Amino acid sequence: MEHNKPLILITNDDGYQAKGLRKLISLMRPLGELLVISTDRVMSAKGHSITTTPTLTATLIDHAPDYKEYVCNGTPVDCVKVAYQWISDRMPDLVVSGINHGSNASTNVIYSGTMAAAIEACMDGINAIGFSLDCYDLDADFDHLDPYITVITKDVLEHGLPDGVCLNVNFPKRSEEPFRGLKVCRQAKAKWIEVYSECLNEKGGTCLKLGGKFVYEDHGDDTDYYALQNNYISLVPTHFDLTATQYLPEMRRFEHIIEEK
């Protein structure tokens, strides 16, 4: 069967009702045939978690010409897997994930369900982009992103991405100034310092509530965090090879201690 339009798979981690997902769907509508499969609830910070128990469901909730929308009770990575390993008989030409309510710049990428979905597609050789806005507000304003998301997506549809590379694109939240441009960046070094507090759960038992602060430890002007702070869109080419390549020679000491054992 011939397909004139590219198949674009859309997912997110904020649930199917999220404003960021709805915006992304509206922006992708003119660009291809859409398969939307999002989570039935908020699945932020689920990282690359997948569902291994036999409990997954995917339910068609809306359809129109060139448009199908499903809701899945699993994680964002489950959504991606189920989309083209179960629902669709055609592999997507592109996976777009988001628009996330909150930044996935810096080490937030490690925890992000939105970016995990993009990375999963990338592992399967599919072009993939995660879009995020540096604003956690459920009612965040996404309208200032429209032309940028469209132009980035069109470029990827036309030219593709290198094998094994997806894009982590983060936008500053709306301010009085327009964006200063887009910066291609490296992932900033930073970490969360958690602050747990005791609270009562639904049954009246004591449990821990997660809080925390983001500690930025990187003073480079070539990072995604720096770009966002300075009103640039950040774009990090992102891969799934966790090898710390530059330390391979130094680590060979472990080959010798095993020999000598």
Query: Exposed, middle or buried, 188 (CB in 10 Å: 0-12/13-18/19+)?
Result: buried
Place of tokens 């996935």: 104
Smallest distance from the beta carbon of 93 to its own copies, in angstroms?
A: 18
Cα dihedral 183/184/188/194 (nearest 10): 70
* Structure tokens belonging to residue 153: 């997506």
Choice between 10 and 77, CB closer to its own copies: 77
State the Cα–Cα distance between residues 206 and 148, nearest whole angstrom: 46
* Interacting residues of 143 by C-beta distance below 8 A, sequence separation 6+: 23, 174
- Smallest separation (angstroms) from its own copies to the CB of 158: 10
Binders of its own copies in range 3-42 (CB under 8 A):
none
Query: Of 18-26, 45-53, 61-69, 170-178, which segment contacts its own copies by CB under 8 A?
Result: 45-53
User: Site for its own copies (CB under 8 A): which residue of 139, 176, 213, 245?
Assistant: 245
Q: How far is the CB of 256 from its own copies (least distance, A)?
A: 9
DSSP state of 173: P
Q: Which of residues 65-104 bind its own copies (CB under 8 A)?
A: 75, 77, 81-82, 85-86
Cα–Cα distances in angstroms (integers) from residue 18 to residues 41, 61, 162, 241, in the given order: 9, 15, 30, 31
**Range in contact with its own copies (rule: CB under 8 A) among 20-28, 93-101, 133-141, 232-240:** 232-240
Residues 110-129 that bind its own copies (CB under 8 A): 110-111, 116, 119, 123-124
Q: Which of residues 171-200 bind its own copies (CB under 8 A)?
A: 181-187, 189, 191, 193-196, 199
Which residues within the stretch 127-166 sit at the binding site for its own copies (CB under 8 A)? Answer: 147-148, 151-152, 155, 159, 162, 164-165
Q: Which of 145, 160, 9, 159 is nearest to 72 (CA)?
A: 9
For residues 41 and 139, what is the distance between their CA atoms, to the nearest angstrom?
16
CB of 241 to its own copies, least distance (A): 5
